[in-house]
Amino acid sequence: MRRILAVLCLAPAMMLAAVSFQVDGKDINRAQPGAGTADMLSRVMPAVVSIRTAATIPPDYLRRLKTRIAPDDLKSNTKTDPKTGEVQMFVGLGSGTIINPDGYIITNRHVVMMPDNTVAKLAYVTLSDRREFKARVLAVDDKTDIAIIKVEERNLPFARLADSDKARVGDPVYAIGNPLGVGMSVSSGIVSALGRSGLGLNYEDFIQTDAAINHGNSGGPLVDFEGRILGMNTMIRTDGRGEGNIGIGFSIPSNLMLSIATDLANTGKVVRGYVGLFGEDLPVEESAKLTQSRNGAVRITDVTVDSPASRGGLRKDDVIVAVNNKPFENWNELRLTIAKRRPGDVILMSVIRKGQGSLVRIAVAERPAGS
């Protein structure tokens, strides 16, 4: 073999020139714009967790399962409680983010719901360093699909929330979570649109993104370029032929997350502002004539009797064009604006009635349960 090599080395003219490739082995200059993504992700990913809900299996049902499921499959989908000896089967999978070092984790409500539509009594949280904790569900909000769960551990890594009102279409974003149970993963994209609604929840203000989101990503964060939580990955739009990602995902914005999480963690329920009116969007042409702008306008379709709106003097067919001198885009945004107010707040509504503008003071009340 040495002889052959020697001959080859001494007779280069007999060989074709070898193809070579250039390699630049220098470290990435992470100080230059756009180069620090890996460092940023390494800081935020320890705060992202995998969540599995579980249910205790009765002994007789466990015996039947052992005759139907391969031992390895049964082992990977169950867990034995070391204290009680009970066997628990994993039912659901999702992601979440630690937002307080004392173990408070935010996720989607649907991540902690059982098949019978009850809140899970048992969940397990796995951190990026493979530590696993038993978690309890503190509270959920079905109107925004947000839940707060807690593990009894302190000094945990946590992530901070960004101001989602400052997000712009085109901003780079990163979706982090445990898609399809393959393990903690990151996908990247941009903010595709803001203020999306009409997706089936009572209160919506979704950030749309093309960052890949799949089953298991639910509850995980959508982070901005500085590693702050910009949103919570919640749902995707499919083409109707499958359930995979096609580049249309929706995340609950961080400002809405913060408002709901604060209430759930501190009081166990969400307190929303209420004025007692129903409305509809005016057509763009009609709205433009009234507002002399491209801002939205809402026509009142009904006012609840003895509500803050009725006591403030609002009537059916009044047109609302601003709240506290701030315009809005549509009825959905107006509803969110009112809902975010605290009971006792006074808001100033800019109203047009029969072509005449006026300002109406409304004292916000707490939204009645079930409304």
Q: Which residues are catalytic?
A: 110, 145, 218
Q: What angle do CA 48, 51, 57 make, to 5 degrees?
A: 165
Residue 142: how many other CB atoms lie within 10 Å: 14
* Residues forming a β-bridge with 50: 95, 126
At 29 the pLDDT is 58
Minimum mean pLDDT range among 175-184, 186-195, 237-246: 237-246
Q: Tens of pLDDT along 278-292?
A: 999 988 888 877 777
- What's the whole-number mean pLDDT along residues 82-102? 87
The CATH number, out of the four listed (2.60.40.290, 2.30.42.10, 3.40.47.10, 3.65.10.10), of the domain defined by the range 273-366 = 2.30.42.10
Q: Tens of pLDDT along 13-65?
A: 444 566 544 455 566 555 656 557 888 999 999 999 999 998 887 777 777 87
Which class in CATH covers the domain with range 43-151?
mainly beta
Which part of the chain has CATH 2.30.42.10?
Answer: 273-366
Percent of the chain's residues with pLDDT above 70? 89
CATH architecture of 164-267: Beta Barrel (2.40)
Whether residue 276 is predicted with pLDDT greater than 90 in this model: the reply is yes
* Residues forming a β-bridge with 98: 105
Segment (H or E) for 355 = none
Q: Give the mean pLDDT of the chain.
A: 86
Whether residue 7 is predicted with pLDDT greater than 50 in this model: the reply is no
At 10 the pLDDT is 41
Q: How far apart are CA 42 and CA 328, in angstroms?
A: 38
Q: Where are the alpha helices (DSSP H) in the chain?
A: 2-10, 37-44, 59-68, 71-76, 254-267, 284-291, 308-311, 331-339
- What's the whole-number mean pLDDT along residues 150-167? 93
Which part of the chain has CATH 2.40.10.10?
Answer: 43-151, 164-267
